[in-house]
Chain A
Amino acid sequence: MANGTADHTILQVEDLHLNFGGLAALSGISFGVKPGEILALIGPNGAGKTSVLNCISGFYRPQPGHIWFANRDLTRVPTHQIARLGVARTFQNIALYTGMTALDNLMAARHIHMRQSTLASALYFGPGHREEIVHRRIVEEIIDFLEMEPIRKRVVGTLPYGLRKRVELGRALALEPRLLLLDEPMAGMNVEEKEDMARFILDIHERRRMTILLVEHDMGLVMDIAQRVVVLDFGVKIAEGSADEIKRDPQVIKAYLGQPGSQ
């Protein structure tokens, strides 16, 4: 399975290492994400999946290692600029403005696209008003897309868990990213909520032609929606390939199910 060279990938992770003190969280991870694909990053607990996402979004600085995105090395870009480059993410433990409405959370994400000065935005009439309308329309389309109409004006802190996850996905979409990083979007959901979320992810991929890097625990769902899968175990990449190839890979089976007994 060719990893593809930098020409064919939108995101290229190269020889990523990450140490917490003496603990090696990641040791030499390399993989590429092709434009327009859904790539799943899977592995048992503590395999380093979220660490990879955190490196990409700039929370952690790998030592050493490179992450190429849009001809820039993300490991050298300041964290607050990564979103502007077109990388958006959701979090395993939801991180929304809980005191604001779902709509305002999404509007806040549009901030990076707003051009008007603070003064112009503070006035009701004029360019600030026009800009607000443009962005509101984009946000409303996302609300429609994710079927969030009933919770548009609800304060996020009062929403149930499954819906907060959806608001968070909406906020990531509102950034209009080129690469969407989803960290366990279905963790803690019931079967129906999981199916809804899977449908939304497929719709986003299909309709918005977005490249998605997905970290997920639920193997069944990953196999259903991901085109390619990268498997990590103890900070090392142990396999990469299509869902079917991964299912048959002896190393993956070992990592998930353990060593077969001697009998």
Chain B
Amino acid sequence: MTIDTLPKQFVETARKYGQGKVAMRRKDLGIWHEYTWHESCLRVRHLSLGLISLGLEHGDKVCIIGDNDPEYFWAQLAIQAAGGVAVGIFTDSVPGEIQYIVQHSDAVLVFAKDQEQCDKLLEIRAQVPAVRRVIYWDEKGLWSYNDPWLMSFGDVEALGKELDRREPACFDTRLVQGCGEDLAIFCYTSGTTGHPKGAMISHSNLLEGCRIYNQVDRRLDSDEYLSFLPPAWITENILGLTVHVVNGMIINFPEAPDTVQDDLREIAPHALLFSSRLWENLVSTVQVRIADSTWINRLLYRLFMPVGYRVAGLRFESGRVPILWRLLYAIGDLAIFAPLRDKLGLTRVKSAYSAGAALSPDVVRFFRAIGVSIKNLFGSTEGQIHTLHIGNDVKFETVGIAPPGMQICIAENGEILVKGPTVFRGYYKNPEETAAKLRDGWFHTGDAGYLREDGHLIYLDRVKDLLELATGDKFSPQYIEGRLKFSPYIKDVMAIGGRQRAYVTAIINIDFANVGRWAEKQRLGYTTFVDLSQKPEVYNLILQDVVRVNQTLPSPARVHKFVLLHKEFDPDEAELTRTRKLRRGFMEDRYREMIEAMYNGQPEVNVSAEVRYRDGRTGTVETTVRVCSVDS
């Protein structure tokens, strides 16, 4: 039997380890309970046969909606062993969304974890007549539901045991019928417009993805993993389930979605992925906790964090750390770094990945200082892992390089294209979208970026959010703004360009508190925000940041001129949305004079802006704003 599907690999791995090795752990009633490979395999076998008893045919689709539990993974493997396709649905979906996916995927059975999810399905029951049964695995609150449409996980397994007794060869017969080109999972991606699209992922996509991942960052069968990313998301399938099935990595399941932080500490996994947002939150949590801690902790933190920063800096710049610093770092590690890593569940981590928006360099430096190197990982549902940081080749401004087997190229419009064995098979029942996104084996990510000479990919933005210049070059205003905002002295930025403009300019909003503090240290007197923002010294301070960011940008995207706005961007004046997103159109209108001054070569511009005070009164502020040119 060639091993070309996940369930075949699962059975093979289970035979290799049998009863002697832990496959999964789950925390229940406060205690970690273990499942050996033998037990896990038996559960999948019986469940799969149970599904066959319920009439599941090769190629049928089954939806699963639930949290990270062994049952979720067993259900997925059981569906696949019976030849079916598993369709994950996010647990926070509303009944309408569930109805769309269940209908669109033609699901014949649905796994729904608990009362909450079963209630949603009961609500849409009339709209999903094709669903024969809903199978639940957490019976809490469902005790008095006497609906034969609902069936417990255990009852399905009992059906399977019965079938196994009658036809002992049934499981294997069905198992060997599968092949690598069969579809394994559908991942519905939320489109920004219209309905979600169901990306069809085959067994070979997943197994090849794992083979590629193994080449660059191999997980051992003694490695621990905590499953906390939504299992309906492709990432949990790539980093979790598939690696578990192929390499035998131990998967641990948290007690409840809200206990992940505590469970992380107890498990201390070897590999994990957080969104960049979460990494950033962790840093602020640590800082808040330290500030609330005892004086001795605060002292140690103040004493040794600079050592951590220094040593991390040396290590990543030159690779050589003088012996004295190494000694200091060792003491710091004992005093503060190791306890911090322990609190965060990072004591054993070998691969700490970040996905999503770019991580601020401060966050990267913080974790390097306490001894954790965060690597970026860039991927998509349709193409799995596109690029990642491999080994010690970590550059925080990039999203890494393409692993062997994956090809990356940049289209003329700046779009990142991906080709490789992991690229999906198309969108289910949606040939138009498939044709638009998948051409000659190249997946069109819809993301814009560029490749550096060292092979590292820089991610900019969604293609549709790019702006064009008069020269025809495209640039990402959000990318430039994001990089500039990493500076502690810059609170908000709006980057400006457009077809009628030859270069990029920016309106910058200084961070009053930080720049004010800096000014005090420089013995620089100032009165108000307006006054401080127009000080030549402050212009020079910000200029340094702009020049530094410009060095990391391709030449057409560099900021040529900027002004420091005499006031803060204000949601009360409709300049920002309540979630602090820029309202670009409105801003361009409002600051038309200032923007034109930057393109006309004027050295300064007089502005009189209407200001609305908190109490509703309005007033006018008149001042002169200087235009600063950047020589790059």
Q: How large is the interface on A (under 10, 10 to 19, 20 to 34, 35 or more residues)?
A: 10 to 19
Partner of A137, one of B29, B140, B141, B258: B29
The CA of A145 and the CA of B31, in the complex, are separated in Å by: 15
CB of B143 within 8 A of CB of A149, answer no
Partner of A152, one of B28, B30, B140, B143: B30
The CA of A137 and the CA of B31, in the complex, are separated in Å by: 10
CB of A149 within 8 A of CB of B144, answer no
B-facing mask of A126-148, CB < 8 A → 1, else 0? 00000000001100110111010
CB of B143 within 8 A of CB of A207, answer yes
Name B26-83 residues within 8 Å CB distance of A: 28-31
A-facing mask of B144-163, CB < 8 A → 1, else 0? 10000000000000000000
CB of B29 within 8 A of CB of A147, answer no
In this complex, what residue of A is CB-closest to B28?
Answer: A144
The CA of A203 and the CA of B144, in the complex, are separated in Å by: 10
Q: Please judge, given known A-B contacts A149-B255, A149-B258, A149-B259, whether A206 and B29 are in contact too, CB under 8 Å.
A: no
In this complex, what residue of A is CB-closest to B257?
Answer: A150
Q: Please judge, given known A-B contacts A199-B141, A206-B144, A207-B143, whether A150 and B29 are in contact too, CB under 8 Å.
A: no
In this complex, what residue of B is CB-closest to A150?
Answer: B258
The CA of A152 and the CA of B258, in the complex, are separated in Å by: 11
A-facing mask of B240-264, CB < 8 A → 1, else 0? 0000000000000001101100100
Of residues B30, B141, B258, B259, which shows the largest number of chain A Cβ atoms within 10 Å of its Cβ?
Answer: B30
Min CB gap A35→B, angstroms: 18
The CA of A136 and the CA of B29, in the complex, are separated in Å by: 9
CB of B140 within 8 A of CB of A149, answer no
The CA of A145 and the CA of B143, in the complex, are separated in Å by: 13
Min CB gap A215→B, angstroms: 25
Partner of B143, one of A140, A147, A206: A206
CB of B259 within 8 A of CB of A150, answer yes
Min CB gap A193→B, angstroms: 15
Min CB gap B264→A, angstroms: 13
The CA of A144 and the CA of B26, in the complex, are separated in Å by: 14
Q: Please judge, given known A-B contacts A149-B255, A149-B259, A150-B259, whether A140 and B30 are in contact too, CB under 8 Å.
A: yes
Complex interface: chain B residues within 8 A of A152 (CB) = 30
B-facing mask of A151-186, CB < 8 A → 1, else 0? 011000000000000000000000000000000000
In this complex, what residue of B is CB-closest to A136?
Answer: B30
Min CB gap B302→A, angstroms: 26
The CA of A263 and the CA of B256, in the complex, are separated in Å by: 59
Name A76-135 residues within 8 Å CB distance of B: none
CB of B141 within 8 A of CB of A203, answer yes
In this complex, what residue of B is CB-closest to A203?
Answer: B141
Interface of B is mostly: loop
Min CB gap B91→A, angstroms: 15
The CA of A206 and the CA of B255, in the complex, are separated in Å by: 24
A-facing mask of B285-326, CB < 8 A → 1, else 0? 000000000000000000000000000000000000000000
CB of A149 within 8 A of CB of B141, answer no
Q: Please judge, given known A-B contacts A149-B256, A149-B259, A150-B256, whether A203 and B140 are in contact too, CB under 8 Å.
A: yes
Min CB gap A159→B, angstroms: 13
The CA of A150 and the CA of B260, in the complex, are separated in Å by: 9
The CA of A207 and the CA of B142, in the complex, are separated in Å by: 10
Complex interface: chain A residues within 8 A of B262 (CB) = 150, 153
Complex interface: chain A residues within 8 A of B258 (CB) = 149-150
The CA of A101 and the CA of B194, in the complex, are separated in Å by: 48
CB of A144 within 8 A of CB of B143, answer no
Interface of A is mostly: helix
Complex interface: chain A residues within 8 A of B141 (CB) = 199, 203
Complex interface: chain A residues within 8 A of B31 (CB) = 140
A-facing mask of B102-143, CB < 8 A → 1, else 0? 000000000000000000000000000000000000001101
The CA of A248 and the CA of B543, in the complex, are separated in Å by: 76
Name B11-34 residues within 8 Å CB distance of A: 28-31
Min CB gap B454→A, angstroms: 44
Complex interface: chain B residues within 8 A of A137 (CB) = 29
In this complex, what residue of A is CB-closest to B27?
Answer: A149
Q: Please judge, given known A-B contacts A206-B144, A207-B143, whether A140 and B29 are in contact too, CB under 8 Å.
A: yes
A-facing mask of B440-478, CB < 8 A → 1, else 0? 000000000000000000000000000000000000000
Complex interface: chain A residues within 8 A of B255 (CB) = 149
Complex interface: chain B residues within 8 A of A153 (CB) = 262
In this complex, what residue of A is CB-closest to B29?
Answer: A140
CB of B256 within 8 A of CB of A141, answer no
The CA of A10 and the CA of B431, in the complex, are separated in Å by: 68
The CA of A147 and the CA of B258, in the complex, are separated in Å by: 10
Complex interface: chain B residues within 8 A of A141 (CB) = 29
Min CB gap B398→A, angstroms: 37
Partner of B30, one of A143, A145, A147, A206: A143
The CA of A203 and the CA of B145, in the complex, are separated in Å by: 13
Partner of A147, one of B28, B144, B256: B256
Min CB gap B277→A, angstroms: 20
Of residues B29, B143, B262, which shows the largest number of chain A Cβ atoms within 10 Å of its Cβ?
Answer: B29
The CA of A217 and the CA of B259, in the complex, are separated in Å by: 34
In this complex, what residue of B is CB-closest to A141?
Answer: B29
The CA of A121 and the CA of B254, in the complex, are separated in Å by: 32
Min CB gap A203→B, angstroms: 6
CB of B259 within 8 A of CB of A144, answer no
In this complex, what residue of B is CB-closest to A202?
Answer: B141
Complex interface: chain B residues within 8 A of A147 (CB) = 256
Complex interface: chain B residues within 8 A of A206 (CB) = 143-144
Complex interface: chain B residues within 8 A of A149 (CB) = 30, 255-256, 258-259
Complex interface: chain A residues within 8 A of B29 (CB) = 137, 140-141, 143-144
Name A202-239 residues within 8 Å CB distance of B: 203, 206-207
Min CB gap A31→B, angstroms: 27
Complex interface: chain A residues within 8 A of B140 (CB) = 145, 203
In this complex, what residue of A is CB-closest to B258?
Answer: A150
The CA of A23 and the CA of B141, in the complex, are separated in Å by: 45
The CA of A207 and the CA of B31, in the complex, are separated in Å by: 23
The CA of A145 and the CA of B141, in the complex, are separated in Å by: 10
The CA of A129 and the CA of B140, in the complex, are separated in Å by: 30
Min CB gap A116→B, angstroms: 22
Name A17-56 residues within 8 Å CB distance of B: none
Min CB gap A197→B, angstroms: 14
The CA of A145 and the CA of B29, in the complex, are separated in Å by: 10
Complex interface: chain B residues within 8 A of A207 (CB) = 143
In this complex, what residue of B is CB-closest to A199?
Answer: B141
Min CB gap A73→B, angstroms: 36
Complex interface: chain A residues within 8 A of B256 (CB) = 147, 149-150
Complex interface: chain A residues within 8 A of B259 (CB) = 149-150
Min CB gap A176→B, angstroms: 17
A-facing mask of B310-352, CB < 8 A → 1, else 0? 0000000000000000000000000000000000000000000
The CA of A203 and the CA of B139, in the complex, are separated in Å by: 12
Min CB gap B395→A, angstroms: 37
The CA of A145 and the CA of B140, in the complex, are separated in Å by: 8
Min CB gap A224→B, angstroms: 15
Min CB gap B115→A, angstroms: 9
Min CB gap B387→A, angstroms: 36
Min CB gap A110→B, angstroms: 15
Min CB gap A157→B, angstroms: 15
> Can you sample 26 A-B contacts with CB below 8 Å?
A136-B30, A137-B29, A140-B29, A140-B30, A140-B31, A141-B29, A143-B30, A144-B28, A144-B29, A145-B140, A147-B256, A149-B30, A149-B255, A149-B256, A149-B259, A150-B256, A150-B258, A150-B259, A152-B30, A153-B262, A199-B141, A203-B140, A203-B141, A206-B143, A206-B144, A207-B143
Given contacts A141-B29, A150-B258, 18 further A-B contacts (CB under 8 A): A140-B29, A140-B31, A143-B30, A144-B28, A144-B29, A145-B140, A147-B256, A149-B30, A149-B255, A149-B259, A150-B259, A150-B262, A153-B262, A199-B141, A203-B140, A206-B143, A206-B144, A207-B143
Q: 6 tightest A-B contacts by CB?
A: A150-B258, A140-B29, A149-B256, A149-B255, A140-B30, A150-B259
